[in-house]
Amino acid sequence: MKTLKTPVDPLHLTDSERKHIPHITIEGNTVTVICGDGIIHPMEADHYILYIELFQGETSLAKKMLHPGDEPKAVFEVENTENLHAEELCNLHGIWGSL
Ligand SMILES: [Fe+2]
């Protein structure tokens, strides 16, 4: 069973939490997920985001694999934008979900 990392205080995020929590923006049917919000997560050889995955409810809609040097970002086209959330896996800091 996977364990999602969650912020200690969602109203007062630390810098580490801000760069790990996937940030979702929706325009029409286009969903953009960036890690993170205001502070971008590094994409270096020894510390990077391995993937960004988009869910609708419990269902995985799509997953983008990432590599060092990539932008920590994924763009998905979806038919229905209801009840979306995203997760990302950092090679050092585990799996984080969008708020
Ligand atoms: Fe990290």
User: How does residue 2 score in pLDDT terms, banded at 50, 70 and 90?
Assistant: confident
The reply to whether 89 falls in a domain is yes
Q: Evaluate the CA torsion angle 8, 96, 2, 80 in order and state its sign.
A: positive
CATH number at 77 reads 2.60.40.730
Q: Could you tell me if residue 8 is inside a domain? A: no
Residue 76 forms part of a structural domain? yes
In which domain, by residue range, is 92 found?
Answer: 14-97
54 assigned to some structural domain: yes
Q: What's the gap in Å between 65 CA and the centre of ligand 1? A: 15
Ligand 1 center–CA 87 separation, angstroms: 13
pTM score, whole prediction: 0.95
Q: Report how far ligand 1's centroid is from the alpha carbon of 58 (Å).
A: 24
- Tell me the pLDDT tens digit for each residue of 12-49: 999 999 999 999 999 999 999 999 988 999 999 999 99
Q: Is residue 3 in some structural domain?
A: no
Q: Please check whether residue 33 lies inside any domain of the structure.
A: yes
Is residue 2 assigned to a domain?
A: no
